[in-house]
């Protein structure tokens, strides 16, 4: 693997792409430390420290993770790329139900560019709305009396904050597109991954404090516990890679056709059905729904509503069960949207393809639907387990969530998937120039292969 990394810098085009990617990521990380004007940093830190202990703190923790810690510092990149992710998911779902968007999606590159343009417009709209409510929220931290986060509240601060945070999101989106075109890897995904990886140092620092005999924690984490955590981390990463790359290959045979003096078809191929079609999207949907009551309860001083929402807070059994069931549901929901067995079977029949032992048409549709339903169950159960595993780790080993979050959940799925995609693209350049890839036997498969 080390030789493959060295060889990557021997190819001029690949070297240029890697350096451009690194430079653009460095620009993004610098922006995560430039503060938004008009904010008292000390009061803001105290505010987020108190917020993390409330019912609504989990949602802001997720936003902070995707923004690479920029949210808790309220920098110009505080919104991160979340508005773009939300807009992309919304447009992807609408494509399956709105005929006009579905028609655009089938028009190839021109249709893709049009949908991408709509996604940018939706991103700007979502960023404007979110940044405006963040400005109002900072001016009036209702639950925490005595904190004055905004130095000079009013419409001047609100307009400045809206413009700053919205421009920051658009700039991050532009950085991702530049990485996509001029660099290596998926730009937006790399930006998110860098934000997640940036949390490793605070987590390691917290881990050292819990292990040090000189800290107030007094060796809360013993060396044997650390060995268990290391073994669990290796197991989680290995299992995520296996499920991310897992496929069910459906063999397809094409009939031989004779047109004039030429013979077409007759070859054998396969349809790769992903075990985990939804990926991290199911977890994002489930988190948005299950954290909504607790987040609303943190702003509404209603004792009855707060007691009801208390059960849907991380650490409670009801939260774990509902969260897992929501993930399984959204895995099936998203798979049903992106995978259409009727269209697939009709296209196979149109070009003379058939699955051996299965009749073309309706029987092929039923077979594909049956197989996809079964393999999606395995993927959905695994994703649900990975999502709730940090909660079990917190209860079992008594470690903070910042450390436990690297053993499962959204972060590990995104990081593993993006690293696989990036390595696959680098390996393609290496093999094209007659160099060995990262592994000697087989090939690295990306998430979308």
pLDDT digits (tens, 9 = 90+) for 190-240: 888 888 888 888 888 878 877 776 666 556 777 788 888 889 888 888 988
98-107, 166-175, 214-223, 351-360: which has the minimum mean pLDDT? 214-223
Listed ranges 256-260, 291-295, 332-336, 437-441; the one with the highest mean pLDDT = 332-336
- CATH classification (class only), 9-192: mainly alpha
Residues 6+ apart with CB under 8 A from 255: 265, 266, 352, 353, 354
65-79, 192-206, 374-388: which has the minimum mean pLDDT? 65-79
**Among 286, 173, 244, which residue's Cα sits nearest to residue 424?**
244
For position 166, what pLDDT does the model report?
Answer: 93
For position 444, what pLDDT does the model report?
Answer: 59
Residue indicated by tokens 């094209």: 432
Residue indicated by tokens 């299992």: 239
Q: What is the model's pTM?
A: 0.78
Q: Is the pLDDT of residue 58 over 60?
A: no
CA distance 315 to 395: 8
Give the largest CA-CA distance in the chain. Answer: 87
Render pLDDT for 292-322 as a digit per residue (tens, 0 to 9): 666 665 555 556 655 665 656 666 777 788 8
Task: Return the CATH number of the domain spanning residue range 220-407.
Answer: 1.10.3370.10
Name 273's bridge partners.
248
Distance of CA 348 to the CA centre of its chain: 32
Mean pLDDT of 111-129: 89
How much of the chain, in percent, has pLDDT values that exceed 70? Answer: 80
199 in Cβ contact with 65 (< 8 Å): yes
228 in Cβ contact with 397 (< 8 Å): yes
**Among 418, 12, 371, 445, which residue's Cα sits nearest to residue 195?**
418
For position 163, what pLDDT does the model report?
Answer: 93
389 pLDDT band, cuts 50/70/90, is confident
Phi-psi region of 264 (alpha: psi -120 to 50; beta: other; left: phi over 0): beta
For position 294, what pLDDT does the model report?
Answer: 61
Mean pLDDT of 165-184: 90
User: DSSP for 119-137?
Assistant: HHHHHHHHHHHHHHHHHHH
Is there a shared CATH topology between the 9-192 domain and the 220-407 domain? yes
What is the phi/psi pair of residue 2, to 5°?
A: -65, -40
Q: Is the pLDDT of residue 184 over 60?
A: yes
Mean pLDDT of 57-86: 74
162 pLDDT band, cuts 50/70/90, is very high
Measured from the Cβ of residue 445, the count of other Cβ atoms closer than 10 Å reads 15
Tokens of 375: 């393999």
Listed ranges 17-21, 89-93, 104-108, 435-439; the one with the highest mean pLDDT = 17-21
Residue 272 is given by DSSP the state: E
Tokens of 212: 């040090």
Tokens of 7: 């060889």
Residue indicated by tokens 């700053």: 164
The domains of the chain are located at 9-192, 220-407
Listed ranges 151-165, 384-398, 411-425; the one with the highest mean pLDDT = 151-165
Render pLDDT for 322-363 as a digit per residue (tens, 0 to 9): 888 988 998 898 888 888 888 888 888 887 788 888 888 888
164 pLDDT band, cuts 50/70/90, is very high
How much of the chain, in percent, has pLDDT values that exceed 90? Answer: 10
More confident residue, 428 or 434: 428
CA distance 309 to 38: 34
Mean pLDDT of 23-36: 89
23 pLDDT band, cuts 50/70/90, is very high
Q: Is the pLDDT of residue 442 over 80?
A: no
Tokens of 176: 């991702």
Name 64's bridge partners.
none
113 pLDDT band, cuts 50/70/90, is confident
For position 362, what pLDDT does the model report?
Answer: 87
Mean pLDDT of 148-176: 89
Residues 6+ apart with CB under 8 A from 378: 275
For position 183, what pLDDT does the model report?
Answer: 86
Listed ranges 26-40, 106-120, 159-173; the one with the highest mean pLDDT = 159-173
Mean pLDDT of 133-160: 77
HSE of 96, CA atoms in CB hemisphere, 13 A: 14
**Among 94, 173, 91, 89, which residue's Cα sits nearest to residue 127?**
173
CA distance 326 to 324: 5
Mean pLDDT of 50-79: 68
269 pLDDT band, cuts 50/70/90, is confident
């Amino acid at each position: 693997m080390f030789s493959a990394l060295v060889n990557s810098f021997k190819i001029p085009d690949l070297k240029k792409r890697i350096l451009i990617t690194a430079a653009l990521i460095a620009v993004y990380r610098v922006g995560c430390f430039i503060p938004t004007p008009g904010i008292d940093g000390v009061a803001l830190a105290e505010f987020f420290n108190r917020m993390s202990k409330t019912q609504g703190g989990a949602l802001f923790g997720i936003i902070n993770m995707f923004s690479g810690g920029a949210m808790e510092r309220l920098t110009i990149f505080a919104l991160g790329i979340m508005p773009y992710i939300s807009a992309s998911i919304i447009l992807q779902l609408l494509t399956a139900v709105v005929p006009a968007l579905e028609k655009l999606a089938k028009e190839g590159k021109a249709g893709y560019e049009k949908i991408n343009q709509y996604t940018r417009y939706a991103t700007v709209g979502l960023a404007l709305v979110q940044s405006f409510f963040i400005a109002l929220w900072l001016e009036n931290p209702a639950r925490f009396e005595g904190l004055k986060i905004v130095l000079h509240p009013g419409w001047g601060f609100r307009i400045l904050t809206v413009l700053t945070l919205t421009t920051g999101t658009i700039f991050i989106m532009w950085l991702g597109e530049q990485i996509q075109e001029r660099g290596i890897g998926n730009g937006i995904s790399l930006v998110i991954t860098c934000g997640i990886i940036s949390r490793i140092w605070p987590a390691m620092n917290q881990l050292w404090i819990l292990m040090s005999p000189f800290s107030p924690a007094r060796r809360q984490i013993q060396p044997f516990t650390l060995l268990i955590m290391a073994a669990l981390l290796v197991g989680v990463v290995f299992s995520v890679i296996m499920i991310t790359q897992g496929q069910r290959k459906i063999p397809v045979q094409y009939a031989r056709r004779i047109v004039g003096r030429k013979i077409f078809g007759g070859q054998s191929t396969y349809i790769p059905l992903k075990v985990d079609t939804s990926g991290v999207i199911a977890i994002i949907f489930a988190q948005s729904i299950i954290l909504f009551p607790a987040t609303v309860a943190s702003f509404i001083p209603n004792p009855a509503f707060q007691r009801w929402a208390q059960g849907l807070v991380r650490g409670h059994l009801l939260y774990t069960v509902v969260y897992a069931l929501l993930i399984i549901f959204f895995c099936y929901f998203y798979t049903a949207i992106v995978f259409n067995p009727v269209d697939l079977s009709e296209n196979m029949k149109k070009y003379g393809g058939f699955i051996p032992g299965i009749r073309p048409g309706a029987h092929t549709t039923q077979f594909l639907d049956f197989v996809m339903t079964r393999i999606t169950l395995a993927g959905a159960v695994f994703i649900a387990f990975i999502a709730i595993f940090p909660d079990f780790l917190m209860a079992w080993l008594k470690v903070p969530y910042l450390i436990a979050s690297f053993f499962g959940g959204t972060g590990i799925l995104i990081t593993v998937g993006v690293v696989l995609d990036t390595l696959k693209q680098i390996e393609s350049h290496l093999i094209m120039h007659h160099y060995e890839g990262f592994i000697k036997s087989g090939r690295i498969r990306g998430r979308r292969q």
